[in-house]
Structure 1
């Protein structure tokens, strides 16, 4: 009683429950963060959390582009709807549109193959290989350094990958200051189990994307299958569900405002240690250029798909991804206007005791940026999914003539299955007419740019100064999937002697593609020799001032922590940390705000069961009877989404949000609009991550789009 009274008093006095908790920590770093973890209410020991092979981190999975977690002993995985969107699209058609109507496997025999490129990864070892890489690199720079790093990486990977389902990667940290080899188990038989209708999984669409309040049921359930010996295997109807040694239990009661949370996953990339000049480059050229490109592409797909529902289904995943990226770019550009991040970084750079390393890196970046701009436009000139595939297939034929160790990364034996998957997947995500229209627009933009190159022009399909593509698509056999698949094992002569217009173009363009690649690698190699030295200065600077020191996100396993809390986006506005199902009906409208009839009926009937919460305040009802205060505001609904102060970015989509005991309470799926610039600069006052509340997920599975078979295999704890 006294402890509860004290806690409530502290919350009242604090006014705001939390500031954002900066840090995308590597697991090993958590061993030193025990006090901070306890302070936010994490009862799991720091030592336990520092071990990626122990619970709960060994229940966290990667899809290669998103995160997820096992939630049953039978290989059931929960991730975001937008992460599983490609799998839903893969199994959809105009006549059976699972995107719109959703999908529920009532039995395991009904679970659907996710697609030829879908994978699930579990990390099973993290080893420091800095000495091994740098010993081979020495004092090399430029292209020689890039090649040395690549050769060292290939050697380390080859020694690690003992079988076809062990996947290893070598990642650099702090710009190449250190290197780690990540060993993972790779599962290739991934199946779609449950996906709510898009009207739930994407409720609010791109209008609500990155916005708060949010009412999106952004979750999907998948399952990993293995062979009868329990080993990863290719897809087979005879495979059985994977026996997950560790999986997350679910806190059916959920969390309240002020509760501490853990979040683990595989964030993609951040730029928090980049220079002020790199912010300016992104703000003034890169982001506006990319945003305009996305808008143009989306407009073309929309225009071409009118009257062709099957084309719209084929490009649904592409459109969803492009819209998400466009909204983020717009948020970044707005954020740069509101907060002068370049100036903040410039002030910090000016405080560095030594300027020499900074100035050397700055000079190299100044030289590289015009090169990147030129290459961007010239690469646009060949912007075609079909042409890209033809070039990749021809290069693969050439690389396969070499010993495996001498092949370019991406074309080794270990890469052949993924390459084949990409070719197969094109069949369900490609329409020749749409691809041609996109290429026509991009090539036209190149022709109007100041980066035209006569040598490149001579290779491209240009007639009378204009793009001339129609005959390429009309006379190429590559529009047929079987023809593309046959080229996976073809000899170089097959391409070089072909009269197919797209294959002839691929053969002609490949030397130019390789020259561009070599130029990029020359620059990357130079920067990889300069950035580590600069990072040594930055790390020493931060450590001397007690500032957080953690590597930028790079697709490896990270852990962040924080508290459930709202925020103040602008003067006189305070956002509360929870939304409810009642807010869904408040937003109801046309298009992306249409509410499915079963969901609407359940809300209107108040058919909430155990998932209705009368209050989510940390202050007990009785407290204001003892101490003068405002009574906690009633909630009286099912929570849909909540905010936390955790530090997240792209790739954290689908990351499990856990309570202090490691039980699942939600899924990360977004950030607030004001938080988008956190990729460059972390502002603790306004940075908030958005999570779907597990109580909403459970309620949907129980009462709206029932899946009792799935609920039965979960461990749901209700204290």
Structure 2
């Protein structure tokens, strides 16, 4: 035991040399101002968050529910990642007008493109409502407490005075030990202003994804429109550019190692306070299962996308989505192993047990629960990924849910309309013959990796991939679900509404082999796995809440932040390179010269537009070069980020925009679970590169005229 405690102390001492031992995603009303200032921040916490005056929070928005964006002009100009706006760029692209390949730059506001359904959310207020949510819940049983908390949350929300375009959401923090209310304001008229071609915005594509050194101009530009009173409104030609309370000045200054930075955005999900047994299961079971399913999917899609332009456009956003976390999980497993995360947690648990003996009992319960849940958790991972990536089976599940709702009388006209739209949108980017190949392979994998007792009867017939190719393709040719078969001349991928209106539709769809297969798989999963998995998970969640309370009560030397949950957060750190492996050092900054070093003419991932080559050849860099004489492209820092931070502004000590967060370094992707200051680095587009592309490449100087540049 003494040896383990010494090891932990050695690690803590080595980590203390870095800016943040544990990282941190801080609620903006509770930032760690003292440490931020000790690292070099010049502004105050009230400059970051204030409801009494304009502050930086008034320029930071959640983009379309999943990314972050920032306002960079007094006319509502938004900056976010290229990959965050990718779906909208794709939506406006055709084979004849390929904005993905060619880029897009509006010549003026009249040329900006509308994007129905895209939203931007501001956070206008944050309140700690823990006392209101827990009122009268003392000494209640678990179910009674959960019911009263739900009632209290509804009453808390009802107690806020809001405008019609505002809403209130209450979110648990610290594994349910505290609750916060967030007042949001949603804008719905968001127009595409500009985007570089994907040879810039997605340079390096999947090969470089999660990788450093990086050379990607991952940015796109939108604009918020409002009604004539500057309030949110549905799209209208009469709407005008939104006038923000605050917008971010943009810095043209060079960066230096150890410069203070902070990131402001909407990180999606982290689990920093898991016990060691949970991390062990991620490494050995859960991540490897998900990686394998996506590996098969990606290889099959890639072969077709590289040989067919129509497929490439149709599947570009989908492929990027699948590939993103596939590669992240690979890095996460490697990073957790390299940072010795399980041992690190075990040592920390032992230290805590010396201070609080109750924690030993908690850890013992965790070990028992996670080990009992393990076979069900593994099948849950395989089932979820197979149904997600075998798109024909996912479609079949949509139809199963529709039929069941129709037959039990729960299908309303509104639900039917939404279903029709969902299915229509799905078929638009779906290739049934291509997915038949994916589905055939994933059926074989699911059969091989799932215990027989969890599978439908006779499922071993799907063990042979080659037989599956023939079977699935033959089904697909005549299937209503695949869109290749028809009912009285009507096809699902052409006119779903007419098909649903046919009185024989339900009878016919229930005979579809994909419907029957998906139903068999689902029913076996639900009856044999789902209930057990969720029962154990409920017990784990309750224990995690208790463990979190124990941690905060026991470790008085540690300042705790809540795990990410898609709410507004501040992370901070320093500009830094890294030493990810023995004798390997990464600098903190890349340049345009590095783009040209990677350039491969005609390559799917590493081609470069001729104009960019010419700008490099003539060194026509203007004010955007740094002290090296080259244009900086990307840089790294120790800010603690995750999914959802894509598009987040990176700001300097004075609150000026210096970069646009878009990725993490592969060696540190385990930071969702185990932030390690030695390896955890976020990757950002340098504002100099963004401005260089807008000015010199796109010749969109009218946009620069809106901005406030700090030289």
Report the TM-score when normalising by structure 2.
0.83
Q: 1:143 to 1:431 in 2, by over 3 A?
A: farther
Q: Give the distance between the partners of 1:152 and 1:416, measured in 2 at CA.
A: 33
Conserved 8 A contact 1:191-1:222? yes
Q: 1:366 aligns with which of 371, 388, 400?
A: 371
Match of 2:647 among 644, 650, 654: 654
CA distance in 1, matches of 2:622, 2:151: 59
Equivalence for 2:99 = 98
Check whether the contact 1:251–1:716 (CA below 8 A) recurs between aligned residues. Answer: yes
Q: How far does the alpha carbon of each residue in 1:629-659 deviate from its partner, in whole angstroms, 9 at most, with x for none?
A: xxxxxx1222111222222122211110112
Q: Which residue of 1 aligns with 2:244?
A: 244
Map 1:325-344 → 2, pairs under 5 A: 325-344=325-344
Work out whether residues 254 and 626 of structure 2, in 8 Å CA contact, stay in contact via their aligned partners in 1: no
Correspondence list, 1:11-90, <5 A: 19-20=19-20, 22-30=23-31, 33-51=32-50, 54-63=54-63, 64-90=65-91
Does residue 677 (structure 1) correspond to residue 670 (structure 2)? The answer is yes
After superposition, the C-alpha distances for 1:248-274 in whole angstroms (9 at most, x for unaligned) are 121233544332222101111222211
Paired residue secondary structure (1:192): strand
Distance apart, 1:344 and its partner CA: 0.7
The answer to whether the 8 A contact 1:44-1:661 is kept is yes
Residue 568 of structure 1 pairs with residue 579 of structure 2: yes
**In structure 2, how many angstroms separate the alpha carbons of the residues matched to 1:308 and 1:151?**
54
* SS of equivalent residue, structure 1 residue 678: helix
1:540-555 matches, within 5 Å, as 540-542=553-555, 544=556, 546-555=557-566
1:534 correspondence with 2:515:
no
DSSP-derived class of the 2:619 partner: coil
Q: Deviations over 1:473-525 (max 9, x none)?
A: 6231673346446799x899974786673667778887667656655543443
- Check if 1:173 corresponds to 2:173: yes
Q: Distance in 1 between matches of 2:459 and 2:168?
A: 38
Answer whether contact 1:656 1:666 (CA < 8 A) is retained: yes
Alignment of 1:638-717 (within 5 A): 638-717=631-710
Stretch moving more, 494-503 or 193-202: 494-503
CA shift for structure 1 position 667: 0.6
Q: Distance in 2 between matches of 1:493 and 1:518?
A: 34
Match of 2:449, SS state, is: coil
Go from structure 1 to structure 2 and tell me whether the alpha carbon gap of 1:588 and 1:311 turns closer, same or farther (over 3 Å shift).
closer
Measure the CA separation in 2 of the matches of 1:375 and 1:335. Answer: 24
Distance in 2, matches of 1:130 and 1:415, equals 35
Using the size of structure 1 for normalisation, the TM-score is: 0.82
**SS across alignment from 1:698:** helix
Measure, in 1, the Cα distance between the counterparts of 2:327 and 2:549.
34
| Partner-residue secondary structure (3-state), 2:292 | helix
Judge conservation of contact 1:143–1:522 (CA < 8 Å) in 2: no
Shift of 1:96: 2.5
**1:508 and 1:448, CA in 2 relative to 1: closer, same or farther beyond 3 A?**
closer
Q: CA 1:370–1:552 in structure 2 vs 1: closer, same or farther (change >3 Å)?
A: same
Give the deviation of 1:142 after TM superposition.
8.2
Instruction: Report if the CA contact (8 A) 2:447-2:462 is conserved.
Output: no
- 1:564 is displaced (CA, Å) by 1.9
Deviations 1:592-619 (A, max 9, x none): 22221111111111111112222xxxxx
Shifted more, 446-455 versus 695-704: the winner is 446-455
Three-state SS of the structure 2 residue aligned to 1:190 is strand
Match for residue 606 of structure 1 among 595, 598, 619: 619
Once residues 82 and 176 of structure 1 are traced to their aligned partners in structure 2, the CA distance between those partners, rounded to angstroms, is 32
Label 1:435 to 1:495 Cα distance change in 2 as closer, same or farther (>3 A). Answer: same
Checking the alignment, whether the CA contact within 8 Å between 1:143 and 1:521 is kept in structure 2 is no
What CA distance in whole angstroms lies between the structure 1 residues aligned with 2:41 and 2:395? 48
How far did 1:346 drift? 0.8
CA RMSD of aligned residues (A): 3.9
CA distance in 2 between partners of 1:464 and 1:645 (Å): 47
SS in 2 for 1:67: strand
Q: 1:212 to 1:350 in 2, by over 3 A?
A: same
Match of 2:480? Answer: 476
Q: What SS class does the counterpart of residue 125 from structure 1 fall into?
A: strand
Q: Distance in 2 between matches of 1:150 and 1:493?
A: 43
